[in-house]
Structure 1
Amino acid sequence: MLGGAIAVLLSGLAACTPRVEVAAPDKPITINLNVKIDHEIKVKVDKDLDQVLSKDSGLF
């Protein structure tokens, strides 16, 4: 009886083995990247430095 129970358990475990299948898709993979990049650059200049770099200073 014990041997029959073990046989039933082993056959039940053998029937439940997981199966992993790797297959290529039928259609190509498309990736939609709708990305909007906004950037803002802020520059602060002292009034004295602004006068040095102005067109009237003759520096450039």
Structure 2
Amino acid sequence: MRLTTLSSMAMLMLAGGMGGCVNISAPDKPIQINLNINVTQEVVYRLDNEAKSLIQQNPGIF
């Protein structure tokens, strides 16, 4: 009985020693995320002849 108890304790200690070790630590420098985003928008107005003549007749409308 004593031998099985000792052998089972030895196996538990051996299994505990083989377990993985996880180490989590914060970085020394702050994390920087650079988002260089260039947004370009092009708006094109196409006026038909009627709208062009209306603008020419009333130049102060806008």
Q: TM-score range by the shorter chain?
A: 0.5 to 0.7
Consecutive unaligned residues in structure 2, runs of 5 or more: none
In percent, how many aligned pairs have the same letter?
24
Opposite residue 33 of structure 1, the aligned amino acid is: L
Match of 2:36 in 1: 34
Instruction: Report the Cα distance in structure 2 between the residues aligned to 1:8 and 1:42, rounded to whole angstroms.
Output: 81
Consecutive unaligned residues in structure 1, runs of 5 or more: none
Q: Count residues in correspondence.
A: 56
Report the TM-score when normalising by structure 1.
0.53
Spell out, residue by residue over 1:13-59, the C-alpha distance to the aligned partner (whole angstroms, 9 max, x if none).
322144242x222112222222222211122221111211x2x4137
Q: Which runs of 4+ in 1 moved over 4 A?
A: 6-9
Report the TM-score when normalising by structure 2.
0.52
Match of 2:47 in 1: 45
Instruction: Report the Cα distance in structure 2 between the residues aligned to 1:32 and 1:47, rounded to whole angstroms.
Output: 48
Instruction: Report the Cα distance in structure 1 between the residues aligned to 2:52 and 2:11, rounded to whole angstroms.
Output: 88
CA RMSD of aligned residues (A): 2.7
Higher relative contact order structure (alpha carbons within 8 Å, sequence separation ≥ 6): 1
CA positional deviation for 1:8? 6.0
